[in-house]
A and B are shown apart, each in its own frame.
Chain A
Amino acid sequence: MANEILAEQISGEYKYGFVTDIEADNAPKGLNEDIIRFISKKKNEPEWMLEYRLKAFKYWQTLEEPHWAHVSYTKPNFQDIIYYSAPKPKVQLNSLDEVDPELLKTFEKLGISIEEQKRLSGVESRIAVDIVMDSVSVKTTFKETLSEKGIIFCSFGEAVQEHPELVKKYMGSVVPYTDNFYAALNSAVFTDGSFCYIPKGVRCPMELSTYFRINASGTGQFERTLIIADEDAYVSYLEGCTAPMRDENQLHAAVVEIVTHKNAEVKYSTVQNWYPGDKNGKGGIFNFVTKRGICLEDNSKISWTQVETGSAVTWKYPSVILKGDNSVGEFYSVAVTNNYQQADTGTKMMHLGKNTRSTIISKGISAGFSNNSYRGLVRIAKGASNARNFSQCDSLLMGDKCGAHTFPYIEIKDKSAIVEHEATTSKIGEDQLFYCKSRGIDNEKAIGLIVNGYCKEVLNKLPMEFAVEAQKLLAVSLEGSVG
């Protein structure tokens, strides 16, 4: 195992950097009302949806791009982006045989073998996957199995057609289009995404997963995910993403919304591996994502776990609004930056209900010329009695040209709150390295071992399938960064 990781470290380039040669149906470049009408028409949307988009677009035009994050990049030209790109030919897919073989090959390269998963459907560890390529959801697996339990798991476009009442009720209820610049942009131009509804009392029997892939050149990806867990429901949701290697910077601006009702629980795990740009910082994805969950009713729980290794610039704060009494929010994160990557990521925990609890564990690793920041907010509102928060943010520096930063905001307005925050920054301990080396473990392997140990608290929270991938990813991302 260790040898494999090492081998990957040596040749450790971005292995998802292929382009699939699939004909795509593109909208012209640029952004205006016509493009939005075009997207809406393409997706055969009802009038209320178009209105929502146009409202968001109007609002977006009044906004300015935010610049408070600790990152620097050339501002994307919003008129130079293709806002709609669908793999062609787009037909209603009923079975796998109808899927374009090129597409299937892409998934195999990505390591998601749909066929294999179909075959393994009797086995305990199963994952239902919704794959979003460029702008359109291309395949959702296990849909039938899930619908037996009343679970709705489909593309966002389908949900708009088939479950408009749910979409209408919940969309924008957690992240309104007025929330921020990129949320407004997404609300105006989003093309697809995943929708998931777990009915009352149902514990989703398998992990649900969305796989995002940017394929076409010059496109931006704007997907929306909406997850609703009704009373006593439970779901574990995974998200993964990759993109081809290109010299240009591509924009990814997604919105994820989670709503939990009484006693419900949602666990959302992300392995983000968008193309980070080359060694000189050229190209790569701008990842500007708004993720937020709301514990709407009592005793509910939302847990975010993320492993961030990709993207040239990341700007992402998965948050939880703890509205219901006794609700729980969790955030576990590993963020790795190498070469010229920049990450400004963290979380927000808004305590509104009584006896709410939140935990934040963030592990940052920076190498090369990169900058890695944790930015987080813990707010205890007046009347949120007995709120409890514990935050821990550790940073590990590898090399003397990178930066690691911590910007926590803590705002407390209730006397019964107990809030703790700890942060440390250091390099890998010489004594730890010496210990490993004196037992015959060479330098690179020892570092791999120490880094994995350092991230263990977070990796342990990932579902098994993801944990293995995440460990490998960490090793690849840090390739050659320690001398």
Chain B
Amino acid sequence: METITKVNTIKDKLIAEFESSKGSLFGDLSIREQALEAFSKQGIPNRKSEEYKYVNMELALKGEFLFSSSIKLSAKQIESTQFLKEAIVIVVENGKFNTEHSKTSSLPKGLEILNISDAVSNDAFKKYYSKYADINSDPFIALNTSLATGGVFIHVEKSAIIEKPIHIIHITSVSENTILNSRNLIVVEENAQATIVESYEIVDSAAKSFNNTLTEIIIEANAIMDHYKIQDEKDFGQIVSTTQAIQKMKSVFTTHTFTLSGLLVRNNLNMVLDGEFIESHLNGLYLTNGNQVVDNHTLVDHRKPNCNSNELYKGIIEEKSSATFNGKIYVRKDAQKTNAFQSNKNILLSDDGTINTKPQLEIYADDVKCSHGTSTGKLDEDKIFYLRARGLSEASAKKLLMHAFASEVVDTIKIDALRDYIEAKISKRFE
């Protein structure tokens, strides 16, 4: 019989990496081993995989990769990424919690912030870690669960109201091609309230990075949480960012995803509405240019009756970039009286750009109101004419209209400083 020589694929390399580093990883090893098995079953998705049809993950993960970076950034470099002045700052540098630069010394009452690898014995950690992010549903969840190197654990105690936003800065700085797996767990207990901003930045990086990051968010009964994700990884950062959120009775969760740059951005936002009278808002804005690929996947899983969800994603696509929106509303049999709405609007400004959109409804309950709408087009000629008739140049008329298009999402930002920051970024972009 002929012997088949096995090609050393990225999958094999990842598995080998786990074997060599498993002694130094935090948490329960059995969870990691199960996850690794789930990952080796699923493998890296190719273009034939329905969920990863429009992003070429095989291409993104081609070549040699390291699994950590030893670069330590200076305080000044880190400061340059702190765009919120009034915030509790946490720094996750190259997939690991950075104690030195994180301002966790004088935290308000009811707030606990730990390096996730120090949180292993915490009760909330034990209760929730890896409970909701299903390793069998996505290979990148499995990969992260098996290889996670670090991140932050945030615990907001019962009835605690944290007024200042918590800003988690994920900084990547690599000298060689590197795959990073960071993992965060956020627990907001009953009647508590918190605002969390996650930003993704690349500073002084010389090679390709692939960030596979996963944030689990648990929102207990009557809790309120605002979540912001700002992705700005320039022209060479690649990122798969998964947010797994679970909401309990009467909680309110608002999440915003702003994708401003990045070579390849894939967002998986999975929301589980596991209780009655829940309110969820999902907002997203993506501005793409160059050869960028942005793929937003959202899943809203209505499990219980009387919940509301509202989703709004908008995008402006320029040059050779491609943007994908794939949103699913899933209404289970028991989830009567569900109101679920979804809207996706795109403007395509170049003939080389691509928009793929797949808004889906999967509904098993009858007393519901669900709808989705999507539209794709160019800038309205009539509107341009109106503005030009009032003395604006064509360029500034277009700029004004693009601003107006984006402002529907930008206006949902509740933190003034953050809104100003995003607006400034957009203005700069459209110059």
A: residues with CB less than 8 A from B are: 68, 382-383, 395, 397-427
**B86 contacts the other chain (Cβ, under 8 Å)?**
no
Residue from A407, A416, A420 within 8 A of B358 (CB atoms): A407
* Contact, CB under 8 Å: B356 / A411: yes
Q: Which residues of A contact B333 (CB under 8 A)?
A: 400-401
If A405-B363, A423-B361 touch, whether A412 touches B50 (CB-CB below 8 Å) is: no
How many Å from the CB of B335 to the closest CB on chain A?
10
Can you offer 19 A-B residue contacts whose CB atoms are under 8 A?
A: A382-B352, A395-B361, A397-B366, A400-B333, A402-B364, A403-B364, A404-B361, A405-B363, A406-B361, A408-B358, A412-B346, A412-B376, A413-B351, A415-B353, A419-B375, A424-B371, A425-B363, A425-B370, A426-B370
Mask, B354-369, CB within 8 Å of A = 1, is 1111111111111111
CB contacts (< 8 Å) of A418 on chain B: these are 375-378
| B residues near A427, Cβ cutoff 8 Å | 366-368
Partner of B363 from the list A395, A399, A409 (CB cut-off 8 Å) is A395
B350 at the interface (CB under 8 A from A): yes
Given contacts A416-B378, A424-B369, 15 further A-B contacts (CB under 8 A): A382-B352, A395-B361, A397-B366, A400-B333, A407-B360, A408-B360, A409-B356, A409-B357, A410-B356, A410-B357, A412-B355, A421-B375, A422-B373, A424-B371, A425-B368
Range, interface on chain B: 35 or more
* Contact indicator A409/B377 (Cβ below 8 Å): no
Tell me which residues across on chain A come within 8 A of B269, comparing CB atoms. none
A417 in contact with B377 given A395-B361, A405-B363 (CB within 8 Å)? yes
Q: Are A426 and B368 in contact (CB under 8 A)?
A: yes
Across the interface, name the chain A residue whose C-beta is closest to B324: A411
* Cα distance, A195 to B135, chains bound together (Å): 53
Map CB proximity to A onto B364-403 as digits: 1 under 8 Å, 0 otherwise: 1111111111111110000000000000000000000000
Q: Is the CB of B360 within 8 A of A382?
A: no
- Nearest B residue to A400, CB-CB: B366
**What 0/1 pattern do residues 324 to 352 of B give for CB contact below 8 A with A?**
00000000010010000000001011111
Q: Which residue of B lies closest to A406 (CB)?
A: B361
Residues of A within 8 A of B350 (CB): 415
**B353 contacts across to A, CB distance below 8 A:** 413, 415
Interface class of chain B by DSSP: strand
Q: 5 smallest A-B Cβ distances: which pairs? A: A397-B366, A418-B377, A424-B371, A406-B361, A425-B370
Given that A382-B351, A413-B353 are contacting pairs, would A423 and B359 also be in contact in the complex, using a CB cutoff of 8 Å? yes
Chain A residue nearest in CB terms to B340: A425
Q: Which of A68, A414, A415, A420 contacts B50 (CB 8 A)?
A: A68
* Docked CA distance A382–B350 (Å): 10
Output the least CB separation between B376 and chain A (Å): 5
> CA of A191 to CA of B306 in the docked complex: distance in angstroms?
54
Residues on A with beta carbons closer than 8 Å to the beta carbon of B373: 420-423
**Cross-interface CB contact of B374 among A415, A417, A421, cutoff 8 Å:** A421
Which of A408, A418, A425 gathers the greatest number of chain B CB atoms within 10 Å? A425
Give every chain B residue within 8 A of A412 (Cβ-Cβ): 346, 348, 354-356, 376
Q: How far is the CB of A364 from chain B (nearest CB, A)?
A: 10
Chain A residues with CB under 8 Å of B336's CB are 400
Distance A402 CA – B360 CA, assembled complex (angstroms): 17
Residues B366 and A402 in contact, CB atoms below 8 Å apart: yes
Assuming the contacts A405-B361, A406-B360, asked whether A411 and B366 have C-beta atoms less than 8 A apart, the reply is no
A68 to B375: give the CA distance in the assembly, Å: 26
Q: B357 contacts which chain A residues (CB < 8 A)? A: 408-410, 421
Closest to B349 in A: A415
Chain B residues with CB under 8 Å of A408's CB are 357-360, 374
Which chain B positions have C-beta within 8 A of A402?
A: 364, 366
In the complex, chain B residues whose CB is within 8 Å of the CB of A405:
360-363
- Inter-chain contact A410/B358, CB cutoff 8 Å: yes
* Given the contacts A395-B363, A406-B361, A420 and B374 also touching, CB distance less than 8 Å: yes
Residues of chain A within 8 A of B374, CB atoms compared: 408, 410, 419-421
Cα–Cα distance between A425 and B351 once the two chains are bound (Å):
34
Known: A406-B372, A424-B371. A413 touches B354 (CB 8 A): yes
A427 to B366, CA, bound (A): 6
Contacts A395-B361, A397-B363, A409-B356; A415 near B371 (Cβ below 8 A):
no
Q: Are B362 and A403 in contact, CB atoms less than 8 angstroms apart?
A: yes
Residues of B within 8 A of A395 (CB): 361, 363
**Chain A residue with the shortest CB-CB distance to B318:** A415
- Other-chain residue from B358, B363, B372 in contact with A403 (beta carbon distance below 8 A): B363
With a CB–CB cut-off of 8 A, which chain B residues contact A397? 363, 365-366, 368
* Complex Cα gap A400–B356 (Å): 32
Who on chain B is nearest to A392 by CB?
B373
**Bound Cα distance A397, B368 (Å):** 9
CB distance from A242 to the nearest CB of B (A): 30
